[in-house]
Structure 1
């Protein structure tokens, strides 16, 4: 993750697009809207070759904006296009191998923690972050209560940073920040926002600047 603010920061998840140019355009607009710590680029249904081509262009935009580009999908693709990191799905063997192979050259984080027990098992591997929720789990305006509860429990106990999935409304970022989580992940709230992705990112940063609790140094 880039930089260290004294409050919860925004992580973007790139949605699925048929049109690669539109995807890049919307991402560029989002990144121009204000502070973004990192961007997760999922593979969705693309084969490795198509995904590599698509991700290459997006990673360039993300890094040019000063954010960290995290690839969710094939680790070989992440290496070839010089992404900043890998987002994994919660398989402990895969996580252990990736940490051994890529850290500290790359960021390695993971989702897949549906409860405290799974979260602690993941934490034993010392990933760079843990993600609560699903990358496409923003199906309601607010963040899922279970993810908020896990984020609050984790942030109060464990030093490894956590990202909590928000909802489809930009205001869900504040509920995540109030758990003490270091990062809030948004997808539809930014990319399907009627005001446009740039305005959505600006709005989230304004909410967090004004109302998010501050971390102690």
Structure 2
């Protein structure tokens, strides 16, 4: 988060991959409330991914957003990340939770159906992510992610993150599911986007349209 008063509604999670520069992330963080930043590898070798994390993790933390590293617990430790994100399935998640959850957040992805999501949820991750890194090229969110997010938010206490589309307007569809978090990437960091303006606009739409939790 980068706001002392956390909004009582769906909040933004930024997904930052190899193409995201430090200036872009800083601009986004300057634009308004961001709950966390998840850094993902997408083909980078270990040294390059660590370099990316070394540049971006401090920016997120200085802004008050949780910095989460996907797919590499060693790099997460080296850069003093606030959390790790596991996509490898239940066994890998269970191991990560046993080793790390007492110290840092452990989130999970990979639930492509209700049964898979429930199986992953049995391990009690700190959140469940519905979507795939780098697969937000269409303007609207994937219908399956919206459906799973709505079902999960209604049934399960563990928070969920739902991947939005490349159009900022898609945050409204995600928020309407009741999900605690909406993930943005292409809509903020894509070609032609201004990260600061994008985050400010996304937060304004969430302020206006997102349901308030507890209402």
Unaligned regions of 5+ residues in structure 1, if any?
A: none
Paired with 2:191 and 2:197, the residues of 1 have a C-alpha distance of 8
- After TM superposition, the runs of 4+ consecutive aligned structure 1 residues lying more than 2 A away are 1-5
Aligned position for 2:181: 183
- Out of 6, 9, 17, the residue aligned to residue 15 of structure 1 is 17
Displacement after TM superposition at 1:81 (Å): 0.8
Q: Greater CA deviation, 39-48 or 200-209?
A: 39-48
Displacement after TM superposition at 1:119 (Å): 0.3
- Out of 152, 160, 182, the residue aligned to residue 162 of structure 1 is 160
Paired with 1:90 and 1:15, the residues of 2 have a C-alpha distance of 18
Aligned position for 2:194: 196
Cα separation, partners in 2 of 1:186 and 1:57, compared to 1, 3 Å: same
Displacement after TM superposition at 1:149 (Å): 0.4
User: For residues 10-159 of structure 1, what are the structure 2 equivalents within 5 Å?
Assistant: 10-17=12-19, 23-159=21-157
Cα separation, partners in 2 of 1:34 and 1:4, compared to 1, 3 Å: closer
Tell me the TM-score normalized by structure 2: 0.95
* Secondary structure in structure 2 of the residue aligned to 1:16: coil
Displacement after TM superposition at 1:4 (Å): 4.7
Unaligned regions of 5+ residues in structure 2, if any?
A: none
Paired with 1:75 and 1:44, the residues of 2 have a C-alpha distance of 16
Q: Greater CA deviation, 70-79 or 185-194?
A: 185-194
* Secondary structure in structure 1 of the residue aligned to 2:146: helix
Contact 1:10 1:36 in 2 (8 A): yes
Displacement after TM superposition at 1:87 (Å): 0.9
Displacement after TM superposition at 1:49 (Å): 2.0
Paired with 1:45 and 1:167, the residues of 2 have a C-alpha distance of 22
Paired with 1:131 and 1:92, the residues of 2 have a C-alpha distance of 14
Tell me the TM-score normalized by structure 1: 0.94
Displacement after TM superposition at 1:45 (Å): 1.8
Contact 2:140 2:165 in 1 (8 A): yes
Paired with 1:176 and 1:54, the residues of 2 have a C-alpha distance of 28
The number of residue pairs the alignment matches comes to 213
